[in-house]
Amino acid sequence: MAQQPHPSVGHVHLKVADLERAIKFYRDILGFELTQRFGDEAAFLGAGGYHHHIGLNTWHSKNGAAPAQGTTGLYHSAFLYPDRAALGAVIRRVLDAGYVLDGAADHGVSEAVYLRDPDGNGVELYRDRAPADWPRGADGTLAMVNVRLDVDAIIREGS
């Protein structure tokens, strides 16, 4: 039997209160490229020449408030960096820009930090380990963990 194609995540589209502020965060701090704008209402950012991984708009949210805690919605969007050095560099930019990390974890399969974007959206910045290094149970299934991550060591690799 032929293997069926599998889906992948193409992009995340976020409602933001201030388009310029959001562009600065995703472009200048996280490192995405601005690929297209629709005036002062929407922008699209991508990486590696892709048309867009992130859409930002103010169509229904201009000058709006962040969602209240305890409500449903997006938990976080996750952005994969190619290696520890790249992850360390972006973490340094995040901290230098005055953003605070909400958390950090070594999941066995990946190393990740968590924070909020300027509109209160959850953001995960991470790097994957090679699949051969992923922790597995006796039956071969993943055995992900949630243990302390040495963020300072990762930042040093990005310096």
**Does residue 120 belong to any structural domain of this protein?**
yes
Q: Which residue in this structure is represented by tokens 């190619």? A: 82
Q: Average of pLDDT values for 128-148? A: 95
Assess whether 52 and 114 both reside in one domain.
Answer: no
Q: Which CATH number goes with the domain that contains 44?
A: 3.10.180.10
Tell me if 123 sits within 8 A of 77, measured CB to CB.
yes
- Confirm whether 22 is domain-assigned: yes
The answer on 80 and 158 residing in a single domain is yes
Which tens digits make up the pLDDT trace of 3-48? 778 888 889 999 999 999 999 999 999 999 999 999 999 999 999 9
Q: In this structure, is the dihedral angle defined by the CA atoms of residues 118, 119, 120 and 122, taken in order, positive or negative?
A: negative
Strand order in the sheet with 54-57: 12-15, 54-57, 42-46, 33-38
| Whether 87 and 158 share a structural domain | yes
Q: What is the pLDDT of residues 40-79, one digit of tens each?
A: 999 999 999 999 999 999 999 999 998 888 888 889 999 9
Element (H, E) at 42: strand 42-46
Supply the Cα-derived Rg of the chain in whole angstroms.
17
State the average pLDDT over residues 70-94.
94
At 154, is the secondary structure helix, strand, or coil?
A: helix
Same-domain check for residues 44 and 90: no
Distances from the Cα of 99 to the Cα of 85, 92, 96, 142, angstroms: 19, 10, 7, 32
Q: How many domains in the chain?
A: 2
- Tell me: do 95 and 18 sit in the same domain: no
Count the neighbouring beta carbons within 10 Å of the beta carbon of residue 148.
Answer: 8
Cβ burial of 77 (10 Å; 0-12, 13-18, 19+) is middle
